[in-house]
Amino acid sequence: MEIIISVLSAYLIGSISFSYLIAKKVKKIDIRQHGSGNAGATNTLRVLGKGPAVLVLSLDILKGVAAVWIAVILENTGVLPALTPLGQIEGLAPALAGLAAIFGHNWPLYYGFKGGKGVATAVGVVGTLVFFPAVYVGIAAILAIILTRYVSLGSLIFAVFTPLLIILTVSHYDHPITYFYLTALLGIISIWRHRTNIQRLINGTENKICSK
């Protein structure tokens, strides 16, 4: 029951859509009906401006961090590992909790299962589990955004290259295989969620970060 509670709690935390709540508070609008229709920081930037966007980005990252730490605390108390054979897999509980938080952001229970693309929450999850690979790939993603002004390109770089870097540095981190599978799955989900962005990038019609 404890591992179920951990994952369920992470999903419910992830389901809190800060872009939706802040847009309702600031402009009394449903952010999903404006701009790109995505409930995330980038669309918040386009619709509401820099201040709300930074707040949404920070809170979405914190969702991922909180979800992982709930599972880490439970795992370190010795409650989770004793439950089932699955509980004996090192790093599994935090990985599942992180995945549940991202699922919550993408398909939130409270908002008709229509949410964002989960990039910021994934950054919080991956950065908590494997800090340095997340930082290195994150720097590359940020540079790509600065140079091209395409947020979607930076998101895809983070999604694709994080699992690759984990494999290349497998001997330096705890539970690398578990986290490789997690980040690989997140990469697949991110590519699927960005499929229309990928098509627009190929066609040269993708919106840049400064676009309204």
Tens-digit pLDDT profile for residues 49-66: 999 999 999 999 999 999
**What pLDDT is attached to residue 83?**
44
55-69, 82-96, 100-114, 149-163: segment of lowest average pLDDT: 82-96
pLDDT band, residue 177 (cuts 50/70/90)? confident
pTM: 0.87
128-169 residue pLDDT tens: 998 888 999 999 999 999 999 999 999 999 999 999 998 887
Mean pLDDT confidence for 87-113: 86
Mean of the per-residue pLDDT values of the chain: 88
Q: Are the C-beta atoms of residues 178 and 186 closer than 8 Å to each other?
A: no
Mean pLDDT confidence for 75-84: 56
Report whether pLDDT(85) > 50.
Answer: no
Q: Distance between CA atoms of 206 and 199, rounded to whole angstroms?
A: 8
Q: Which two tokens stand for residue 29?
A: 């609008």
Of 92 and 104, more confident: 104
Cβ burial 38-66 (10 Å sphere, 16+ → b, else e): bbbbbbbbbbbeeebbebbbebbbebbbb
3-44 residue pLDDT tens: 788 899 999 999 999 999 999 999 999 999 998 888 999 999
Kindly tell me the sign of the dihedral angle through the C-alpha atoms of 18, 19, 20, 24: positive
Give the largest CA-CA distance in the chain. Answer: 52
